[in-house]
Amino acid sequence: MTITFQDRVTSQEELRNMLGSPSLRGQNKVISTLDDHCREFISKSPFLVLATSDADGNCDSSPRGDAPGFVYVLDDQHLIIPDRPGNKRVDSMLNILTNPKVGLLFLIPGMGETLRINGDAMIIRDEAILEQMAVNGKAPLLGIVVKVEHCYIHCGKAFKRSGLWEPETWSANNELPNAAKILAAHVNLPGMTEERVAADLLEGYKSKLY
């Protein structure tokens, strides 16, 4: 089915005419280094979203999480994200190899404002650095270094509107989507039942986090 939209915004001029321009505060809030405020935010963040795209512009967003402070700030221009065990698709890193531009969104539970960082990324395997990021005696095999170009705080309106940190707005556990059921349907392989996927997920969460 083809959907045709009759009234699209197709230029920056149209967009600005409708929404206006950012305030001076909005323009001036972007900095190019990891100052003490950014470092403190990163040190308290247990979760980020890493946005990448390949050479053709195909985009991907990947969650990254660990104990607060898991992202290491190397200096005022560089930070490093340890690569923990996953499903080995490595979509983000494959993208970085063809297009180093990345975007990061750091979250702190209960806080509406987020920290946004944009820059150029590379993949490293320097043992001396990665050993410092070991957990339970296991160092990451690889790390993603980001050279910072832009840092800025994003306001909390999206969190206010969504009620994300307000437990009273959350669905009951029995009302949530069933991840194992979804994955089994999408994989669609012989023997890959909902029960099998659920067991595999549980085992992975128990023994394959690091």
Q: Per-residue pLDDT tens for 133-151?
A: 999 999 999 999 999 999 9
Q: What is the C-alpha separation between 17 and 12, in angstroms, rounded? A: 8
Provide the 10 A C-beta neighbour count for residue 73: 16
The tens digit of pLDDT for each residue in 44-96 reads 999 999 999 999 999 999 999 999 999 999 999 999 999 999 999 999 999 99
Mean of the pLDDT values across residues 3-26?
94
How far CA 9 is from CA of 2, 5, 12, 58, 59, in Å, comes to 19, 10, 8, 21, 21
Q: Where are the domains of the chain?
A: 20-162, 171-207
CA dihedral 115, 120, 126, 128 (to 10 degrees): -40
Class of domain 20-162: mainly beta
Cα–Cα nearest to 148, from 47, 42, 55: 42
In what helix (H) or strand (E) does residue 98 lie, and over which residues does it extend? helix 91-98
In this prediction the pTM is 0.95
Would you state the pLDDT for residue 137? 94
Amino acid symbol at 2: T
pLDDT in tens, 161-178: 999 999 999 999 999 999
What is the four-CA torsion angle of 10, 5, 60, 104, rounded to 10 degrees? 50
